[in-house]
Structure 1
Amino acid sequence: MQEDDNDFSLFAQEVQGIRPLEKNEVYLGKKQGDVDFVERQKAALIAKVEDRNHLSQDYVERVDPNDMLEYKRPGVQDGVFKRLRQGKYGVEARLDLHRKTVEHARREVFQFVEDCMRNDIRVGIIVHGKGDRTPDPTNQATIKSFINKWLRDLDNVMAFHSAQRHHGGLGAVYVLMRKSEQARLENWERHQKR
């Protein structure tokens, strides 16, 4: 009982001089109960995009800052891959990941590929940097390592290769996207007219 009295007197000392707020002293900007449906809709759309993003940021096999990145799915013609490697396709979209965290880069890479597909962009470039200026050698080429993993995990990426020197060299990668259904149909029609 003595301890309860001490707690009560300590609490009373702490709240001494506090007065209740008048009803009109608090302004929240909206009437209580109003719901901003536009903000809720935006949040729901962002959550949907996040839910579809399956790219992992768990374990990644490390690459060296000076390693060349290259990958092609089965079915990609050798000539197409050679032209990509040589930088002979026009780059239609660019994503720069310098100074991005792994989580930020993960979201941006996923969105970049989605945007390219939605806009019928066939070739893009992702500038990831080499990551060789990081003082901690175990942390070098982190984003580059994740790019190497993530692009393989995206079904709409058909191939990728480290860029030519004038496009960023080993600090950037060309990305070949899958043809959209519309582009496939147009290509088929064009070849049928010959």
Structure 2
Amino acid sequence: MQEDDDFSLFAEEVQGIRPLKKTEVYLGKKQGSVDFTERQKAALIAKVEDRNHLTKDYVERVDPNDMLEYKKDGVQDGVFKRLRQGKYPIDSRLDLHRRTVEQARRDVFQFVEDCMRHDIRVGVIVHGKGDRTPDPQDQATIKSFINKWLRDLDDVMAFHSAQRHHGGLGAVYVLFKKSEKARLENWERHQKR
């Protein structure tokens, strides 16, 4: 009988094995020497990812030669004009060439957070035109996502395609919200007049 043979084979294999007591736990290492650093790193990465609300799903496509422009209500026309003309000093730069959508998504989110933390007012994001991709449906992928993501970030007040010497249609100037510290300094400067 096949069933009896299987049972005897199993009995031979497990001979000498004893069940663990309920208080025993096997960790693969000596008990008490558990390394939690990898778990902590993963938890921190997950925490940052949770805050990153930028979509990686479908976005409305832009053409590689489209000009990107956006300004929130409250941004003065003169400020937007100076941004568009590249007349503000660029304090920070992010290059997204050869990045996947997911990498770009993380980098853009972190870039904006870093700019806000360091009181940076204007930065440039180089996304490329995306016109060298052979499949026309895959062209300007990162550029299309940049157009969507920057609109979805509260700390971005405006953006516009850059002047040729800063990357042209393959880059955007980004105007960030003033930090509380910068607003207070600006207010104090104007009060002294």
With structure 2 as the length reference, what TM-score do the two structures score?
A: 0.85
Residue of structure 1 in register with 2:143 after alignment = 144
Q: How many residues align?
A: 177
Q: What's the counterpart of residue 45 of structure 2?
A: 46
After the TM superposition, which residues 133-172 of structure 1 pair with which residues of structure 2 at under 5 Å, given as runs?
Answer: 133-172=132-171
Give me the whole-angstrom Cα distance separating, in 1, the residues matched to 2:188 and 2:151.
30
**1:120 aligned partner, one-letter code:** D
The residue type paired with residue 91 of structure 2 is E
Per the alignment, residue 186 of structure 1 pairs with: 185
Equivalence for 2:112: 113
Residue 32 of structure 1 deviates from its aligned partner by: 4.4
The alpha carbon displacement at 1:36 in A equals: 3.0
CA deviations 1:135-171 (Å, max 9, x no partner) are: 1110000000000000000000000000000000000
Which stretches of structure 1, 4 residues or longer, exceed 4 Å deviation after superposition?
3-9
C-alpha distance 6-168 of structure 1, shift in aligned 2 (>3 A): same
**Structure 2 unaligned spans of 5+:** 14-27
- Residue 18 of structure 1: aligned partner: none
Question: 2 CA distance for matches of 1:156 and 1:44?
Answer: 25
Deviations 1:27-63 (A, max 9, x none): x7x6444233444333322221111000011110000
2:129 counterpart letter in structure 1: K
Q: 1:145 to 1:3 in 2, by over 3 A?
A: farther
- Which has the larger displacement, 182-191 or 44-53? 44-53
Deviations 1:107-137 (CA, angstroms, capped at 9, x unpaired)? 0000000000000000000000000000111
Residue equivalent to 1:176: 175
CA distance in 1, matches of 2:102, 2:123: 21
Gaps of 5+ in 1: 16-27
Q: Matched residues in 2 for 1:91 and 1:32: separation?
A: 54
